[in-house]
């Protein structure tokens, strides 16, 4: 018997279950209604229990849930609550998935140079503030007559007081170690003219005693690290270097030997061709490789090549580079023998110094200098389009629109580990160019490469390639001695013509 005040009274049941009270007066239907009511109450209790256990801490839920069924029947499972996703967990899960696929983001560093003496004399205001600890760069700009701070975040940020050694040790040192482990790596500087790209990449080469000065840049420090590491390992290795420049969309070998039978301009700048092997890899035909055996050998070649590189005096930079340069070091290191076979691993380090973007009206460039600046800006704009296409996952990436982007193809979205050093000026006069550099560099952070270690070669295969190269040189030498002038053998000519036809077919 149920009184009127009980939770199981007809009025209470009718209120909670929306069943008409008249139906509850029928004794036969009362049992059915009570069963429905009890099922309804059990469902509510289970839902409340499920909600309470999901809101507990892991320790509490672990204690309370012992011996309980964690998965109730499907029709009794409460509707899941809508919660805001944890961005940190999402980032971690996405980065884990990318690591599983072998994808890594391009590393982007930001370096801000100090104000020049002339800028300090003119009291030029600074519009950039660098926070190295937070890895942030804030830039002050006017938007609708209001001062607005725009903040960019990079992998590393180096302010005006940063030293060459600090930048190298924190950012470049690990990359060079990857080269010695058998990877291809690229480091290149990007930014407006006069912001310190060449200083960052080259700096001071060496002192009279052979020691590196404090101003030594990325290239000389990388060379010293490679030799010091290999000598400390007592490794058996070989090393070759190449040095080229891209001037007005022409590739020029900076290490070629001088031919005094030609004019001075032709003798210093011998153009060479850019080819593809049909597998997406780009190589330079006819580029001279120099074998090196010590750090001083490389320093001598760097000084020889830098002397041939085109520079000019502009209003923005007293020694403005008028071309892009690429210095490449290829290292072969012998490994311990596996059974009766000796293996050789190899890595390649590309060190790129890009010419700076230039405002022709401000730099005072005229005639030939204006054409140089136009070609530089054109190639850098193509580089920017490539970056945008890769970030937006476009179906077409315009690598072929410029020789610069063709050279950097494997470094942008390919199998190479890449580091970009973006250089900017703190001067208010360079605000537009600085914003453009920061925007491109910030977008480049989202480019993903899939680095792969180079396949190890057997020593026998490497020796075979060397013997074939020696045989080709002998044939060319024999042909040159037999004729009045410089010739190549018929076999070499036929081979090159066949390769050209194949490449033309692949391009079409």
Residue whose token pair is 């140079």 = 113
Structure tokens at 136: 């942030």
The per-residue DSSP string of 10-60 comes to HHHHHHHH---HHHHTSHHHHHHHHHHHHHHHHHHHHHHHHHHHHTS-HHH
Residue 192 counted as an annotated binding residue: yes
Residue 195 counted as an annotated binding residue: yes
Residue 198 counted as an annotated binding residue: yes
Structure tokens at 53: 């256990």
Residue 38 CB partners (closer than 8 Å, separation 6+)? none
Residue 284, helix vs strand vs coil: strand
Task: State how far the Cα of 273 lies from the Cα of 275, in Å rounded to an integer.
Answer: 6
Do 373 and 316 meet the contact criterion of CB atoms below 8 Å apart? no
Structure tokens at 429: 């006069």
Residue 458, helix vs strand vs coil: strand
What would the 3-class secondary structure string for 114-178 be? Answer: CCCHHHHHCCCCECEEEECCCCEEEEEEEECCEEEEEEEECCEEECCCCCHHHHHHHHHHHHHHH
Q: From residue 441, give the alpha-carbon distance in Å to each of 120, 137, 422, 437, 445.
A: 27, 12, 6, 6, 7
Residue 191 counted as an annotated binding residue: yes
Q: From residue 367, give the alpha-carbon distance in Å to each of 192, 251, 319, 370, 481.
A: 21, 22, 18, 5, 44
- What length does the chain have? 508
Residue 450 counted as an annotated binding residue: no
Q: From residue 300, give the alpha-carbon distance in Å to each of 159, 265, 293, 297, 352.
A: 31, 22, 12, 5, 18
360: left (phi > 0), else alpha (psi -120 to 50), else beta? Answer: alpha
Closest Cα to residue 187, out of 28, 418, 445, 480? 418
Do 408 and 389 meet the contact criterion of CB atoms below 8 Å apart? no
The interaxial angle of helices 173-180 and 218-232, nearest 10 deg, is: 50
Residue 193 counted as an annotated binding residue: yes
Show binding-site residues for ATP. Answer: 191-198
Show binding-site residues. Answer: 191-198
């Amino acid at each position: 018997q149920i009184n009127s005040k009980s939770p199981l009274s007809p009025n209470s049941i009718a209120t909670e279950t929306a069943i008409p009270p008249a139906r509850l007066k029928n004794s036969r239907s009362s049992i059915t209604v009570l069963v429905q009511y009890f099922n309804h109450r059990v469902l509510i209790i289970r839902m409340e229990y499920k909600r309470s256990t999901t809101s507990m801490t892991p320790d509490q839920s672990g204690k309370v849930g012992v011996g309980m069924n964690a998965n109730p029947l499907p029709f009794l499972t409460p509707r899941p609550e809508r919660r805001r996703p944890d961005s940190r967990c999402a980032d971690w899960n996405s980065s884990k998935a990318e690591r599983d696929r072998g994808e890594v983001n391009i590393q982007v560093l930001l370096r801000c140079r100090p104000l020049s003496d002339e800028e300090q004399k003119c009291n030029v205001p600074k519009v950039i503030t660098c926070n190295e600890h937070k890895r942030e760069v804030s830039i002050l700009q006017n938007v609708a007559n209001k001062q607005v701070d725009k903040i960019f975040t990079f992998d590393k940020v180096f302010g005006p007081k940063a030293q060459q050694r600090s930048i190298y040790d924190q950012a470049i040192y690990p990359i060079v170690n990857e080269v010695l482990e058998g990877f291809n790596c690229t480091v290149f500087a990007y930014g407006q003219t006069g912001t310190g790209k060449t200083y960052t990449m080259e700096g001071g080469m060496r002192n009279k005693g052979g020691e590196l000065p404090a101003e030594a840049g990325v290239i000389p420090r990388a060379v010293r690290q490679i030799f010091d590491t290999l000598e400390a390992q007592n490794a058996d290795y070989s090393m070759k270097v190449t040095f080229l420049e891209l001037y007005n969309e022409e590739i020029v070998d900076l290490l070629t030997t001088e031919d005094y039978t030609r004019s001075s301009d032709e003798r210093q700048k011998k153009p060479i061709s850019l080819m593809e092997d049909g597998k997406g890899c780009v190589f330079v035909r006819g580029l001279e490789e120099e074998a090196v055996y010590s750090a001083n050998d490389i320093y001598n070649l760097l000084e020889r090549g830098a002397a041939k590189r085109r520079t000019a005096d502009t209003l923005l930079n007293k020694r403005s580079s008028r071309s892009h340069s690429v210095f490449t070091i290829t290292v072969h290191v012998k490994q311990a023998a596996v059974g009766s076979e000796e293996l050789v691993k190899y890595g390649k380090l590309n060190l790129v110094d890009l010419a700076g973007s230039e405002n022709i009206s401000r730099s005072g460039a005229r005639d030939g200098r204006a054409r140089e600046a136009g070609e530089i800006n054109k190639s850098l704009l193509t580089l920017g389009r490539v970056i945008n296409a890769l970030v937006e996952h476009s179906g077409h990436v315009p690598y072929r629109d410029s020789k610069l982007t063709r050279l950097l193809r494997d470094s942008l979205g390919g199998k190479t580990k890449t580091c970009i050093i973006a250089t900017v000026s703190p001067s208010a006069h360079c605000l537009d160019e600085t914003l453009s550099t920061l925007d491109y560099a910030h977008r480049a952070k989202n480019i993903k490469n899939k680095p792969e270690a180079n396949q190890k070669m057997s020593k026998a295969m490497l020796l075979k390639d060397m013997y074939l190269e020696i045989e080709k040189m002998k044939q060319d030498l024999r042909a040159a001695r037999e004729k009045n002038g410089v010739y190549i053998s018929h076999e070499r000519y036929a081979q090159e013509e066949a390769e050209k036809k194949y490449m033309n077919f692949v391009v079409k």
